[in-house]
């Protein structure tokens, strides 16, 4: 998986190009907890904190806690 690469250029590109935008569409937001593992979720949460408001961040947290 790209996210686990040691080379910063690869995992940074994956973070910015893919993970950062997962919550942009409602369909993706509602299902991403099914295919983004919790360890990756914890690592990309800071990216989402820059992009999403607190309500959306709490909703994402709730999906992972359920």
| pLDDT, tens only, 54-63 | 999 999 999 9
Cα 37 to chain centroid distance, Å, stands at 9
pLDDT on residue 3: 59
Could you tell me which of 55, 50, 45 has the C-alpha nearest to residue 19? Answer: 45
pTM above 0.85, yes or no: no
Q: Is residue 9, in this structure, part of any structural domain at all?
A: no
Give tens-digit pLDDT for 24-54: 899 999 998 998 899 888 888 888 898 899 9
Parent domain of 31: 26-66
Domain count along the chain: 1
Q: Is residue 19, in this structure, part of any structural domain at all?
A: no
Q: What is the mean pLDDT of the chain?
A: 84
pLDDT on residue 23: 85
Give the single-character DSSP code of 35.
T
Distances (CA, A) of 47 to 21, 40: 9, 11
């Amino acid at each position: 998986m790209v996210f686990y690469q040691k080379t910063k250029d690869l995992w940074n590109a994956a973070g910015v190009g893919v993970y950062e935008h997962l919550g942009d569409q409602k369909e993706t937001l509602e299902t991403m907890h099914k295919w983004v593992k919790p360890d990756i979720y914890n690592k990309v949460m800071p990216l989402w904190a820059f992009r999403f408001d607190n309500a959306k961040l709490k909703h994402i947290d709730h999906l992972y806690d359920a």
